[in-house]
Amino acid sequence: MPAKRSLTLALALLLVAAIPARATGFPTITVVDEIRPGSDTSQPMWSTGRLGDWLYFPADDGSTGSELWRTNGTLTSRVADINTAPGGSSYPQGFTALGDWLYFAADDGTNGAELWRTNGAITEDLPEIGVGVDSANIAQLTELNGWLYFGAESALYGYQLHRTNGTAIEMVDVILEGTRGNSPNYLTVLGDWLYFTADTGTLGPNVEVWRTNGTSTTRVTDINPQSDSTGGGSDPSGLTAFGNFLYFSANDGSTGRELWRTNGTVTTQAADIYNDGYSNPAGFTEFNGYLYFQAEDGTNGTELWRTNGSAVEQVRNITAGGVSSYPELFTVLGNYLYFRTSNLSFYELWRTDGTTAGTTVVEDIIPDAGQTLWGLTALGDYLYFVANNETSYQIYRTNTAGLMEVGVVPGTTSGVGCECSQPLVALDGRLFMQMFSDEAGGEFAYLDEPTFGLPGTSRDGSVWSAAFVLLAAVTAAAGLTVRMREVKRT
């Protein structure tokens, strides 16, 4: 065989070898016992935030208290000791990125919990908001058009909506004067507006939906007008952007707590799911052109529902006999929406493709036994979660083919901890978790998911197709032929 053809064939074989392969088996879990070496716990990851390739979180090294740390899995270091008092802790939390900075609330031991920021090299506090109170109670940091909006408390105005661009901090508007404030909540972005709920009640609660663009702040609608003697307000909750509308749960004082929506101009009740009752819709999550949620219809209990903006329908009555399944923790993986159901004292993992027949249990880890399950997190081709196997809390994963696997946390009496809002945190292809064992105490651990960023099984339009095109070109140059048959599409 001529040397040129041999070289070309060698290149072609190398190209084939470079096509991504899919690993099998649960990834290795690596324990990082650097913050507080030994069996004592550092209590990491009760709150987390990402800036660049780093995961930031509070942790206690046993000397400086619960302070700000960061890791990329390879390097772990304390970023700042904010509360320098002996044994003092700043308890950083509520991490939200804006530009090149990560903002958060922390207590320096002098001014209470105020707004701070870090870029990994510099950690600094912003002007104090909570003058005259123990803490500004910074919460719900939300980015809109170069500003970070949040709720904060001061002695003069109470709890009001504030914002910062990293240079200035300003109160957006005083919706309700007085030390109680308007208690802004459920900060949610839709278009160029920040929607939130606010209380304007002087005689009693009067919570409705408001919005601001930083310049103009107005009430969107008055669903349940306030009475002179008893107060009012629809008390909206669960504000979620879907399409051109904001969906939420609200009580108009007549039809009970039902599904509502607004585009800022028009506000309507999307459905009265439970006639003469409260459907209490919650857990709104977008999936394949629909907004999914749980709701009670008065007959089947609290079950799985969805809307596309026109129709509102029950997807499936998961638990028969009027017993509620309480679907929640909705998480998308591939062409399925996964969620947790609750039946008496135990939980199960379910999924749906949007059809009744396609709404099925994935696997009952401990059939007919008490267990818990939380932390659903999609990464690569898998859904990771934490579950109790009646002995300890472990990390599991499943894929869309239904393969169920359990991980092994190194150590004696080991498992996964933290029943917090985010027990599992994905940072690119790396999954972080809080673990425990007799040897390491409570620390953090991580695994690397091999399928993260690799092409799906469909070769069309992916690096697979590019690889085969290059392969064809190389082998053609060698005088060989690669026939690529196109499948006839109907």
Q: Is the dihedral of CA 43, 49, 52, 53 positive or negative?
A: positive
What number is the average pLDDT over the span 227-236?
A: 79
Q: Is the dihedral of CA 473, 478, 479, 480 positive or negative?
A: negative
Strand residues in 356-452 grouped as ranges (E): 360-363, 373-379, 382-388, 393-399, 404-406, 415-416, 424-427, 430-437, 441-448
- Tell which of 250, 282, 298 closes a domain: 250
Number of H helices, E strands in the chain: 2, 38
Helix (H), strand (E) at residue 95: strand 93-98
Question: What is the average pLDDT score of the chain?
Answer: 87
- In angstroms, the CA 110 to CA 381 distance is 47
Q: Are residues 130 and 246 in the same domain?
A: yes
What number is the average pLDDT over the span 442-462?
A: 75
Exposure of 74 in the CB half-sphere (CA atoms within 13 A): 2
**Chain segment 129-148, per-residue pLDDT in tens:** 987 778 899 999 999 999 99
- Rounded (10°) angle between helices 463-477 and 3-18: 170
Cross-strand partners of 342: 347
Tokens describing residue 177: 């004067």
- Residue 38 domain-assigned? no
Ramachandran angles phi, psi of 49, nearest 5°: -155, 155
- In angstroms, the CA 490 to CA 480 distance is 32
- Residue 488 domain-assigned? yes
188-192, 259-263, 358-362, 485-489: which range is least confident on average? Answer: 485-489
- In angstroms, the CA 377 to CA 395 distance is 11
- In angstroms, the CA 209 to CA 193 distance is 12
**Contacts with 244 (C-beta within 8 Å, 6 or more apart), sequence order:** 190, 191, 263
**Chain segment 185-204, per-residue pLDDT in tens:** 999 999 999 999 999 887 77
- Is 50 exceeded by the pLDDT of residue 212? yes
Q: Is residue 67 a contact partner of residue 83, using CB atoms and an 8 Å limit?
A: yes
- Is 60 exceeded by the pLDDT of residue 398? yes
Strands 415-416 and 430-437 turn out to be antiparallel
Query: Is residue 467 classed as helix, strand or coil in its secondary structure?
Result: helix
Ramachandran angles phi, psi of 480, nearest 5°: -105, 170
Tokens describing residue 445: 């651990």
- In angstroms, the CA 151 to CA 176 distance is 14
Query: Is residue 228 classed as helix, strand or coil in its secondary structure?
Result: coil
Confidence band for 258, pLDDT divided at 50, 70 and 90: very high
Q: Is residue 417 a contact partner of residue 435, using CB atoms and an 8 Å limit?
A: yes
- In angstroms, the CA 342 to CA 318 distance is 10
Exposure of 156 in the CB half-sphere (CA atoms within 13 A): 4
- In angstroms, the CA 271 to CA 256 distance is 11
**Phi-psi domain of 477 (left: phi exceeds 0; alpha: psi -120 through 50; beta: other):** alpha
Full residue range of the structural domain in which residue 182 is found: 126-250
For the chain, the maximum distance between any two Cα atoms, rounded to a whole number of angstroms, is 97
242-251, 312-321, 437-446, 477-486: which range is least confident on average? Answer: 477-486
In single-letter form, the type of residue at position 206 comes to: N
- In angstroms, the CA 23 to CA 405 distance is 13
What number is the average pLDDT over the span 404-431?
A: 92
Q: Is residue 454 a contact partner of residue 466, using CB atoms and an 8 Å limit?
A: no
**Phi-psi domain of 132 (left: phi exceeds 0; alpha: psi -120 through 50; beta: other):** left
**Of 41, 99, 100, 46, whose CA–CA distance to 68 is shortest?**
46
- Residue 409 domain-assigned? no
Count of domains observed in the chain: 2
**Of 329, 292, 340, 288, whose CA–CA distance to 314 is shortest?**
292
Cross-strand partners of 441: 437
- Residue 489 domain-assigned? yes
Strands 424-427 and 430-437 turn out to be antiparallel
- Is 70 exceeded by the pLDDT of residue 480? no
191-195, 252-256, 365-369, 388-392: which range is least confident on average? Answer: 365-369
- Residue 237 domain-assigned? yes
- Is 60 exceeded by the pLDDT of residue 482? no
What number is the average pLDDT over the span 214-223?
A: 94
In single-letter form, the type of residue at position 190 comes to: L
**Chain segment 33-81, per-residue pLDDT in tens:** 999 999 999 999 999 999 999 999 999 999 999 999 999 999 999 999 9
- Tell which of 205, 233, 250 closes a domain: 250
Confidence band for 417, pLDDT divided at 50, 70 and 90: confident
- Residue 297 domain-assigned? no
What number is the average pLDDT over the span 7-27?
A: 52
Strand residues in 229-281 grouped as ranges (E): 232-233, 237-242, 245-251, 257-262, 267-271
- Residue 279 domain-assigned? no
Instruction: Quote the Cα angle for 444-450-452, to 5°.
Output: 90
Tokens describing residue 195: 């929607």
Query: Is residue 104 classed as helix, strand or coil in its secondary structure?
Result: strand
Cβ of 471: how many Cβ atoms within 10 Å? 18
- Tell which of 191, 225, 250 closes a domain: 250
- Residue 194 domain-assigned? yes
pLDDT, residue 204, reads: 75
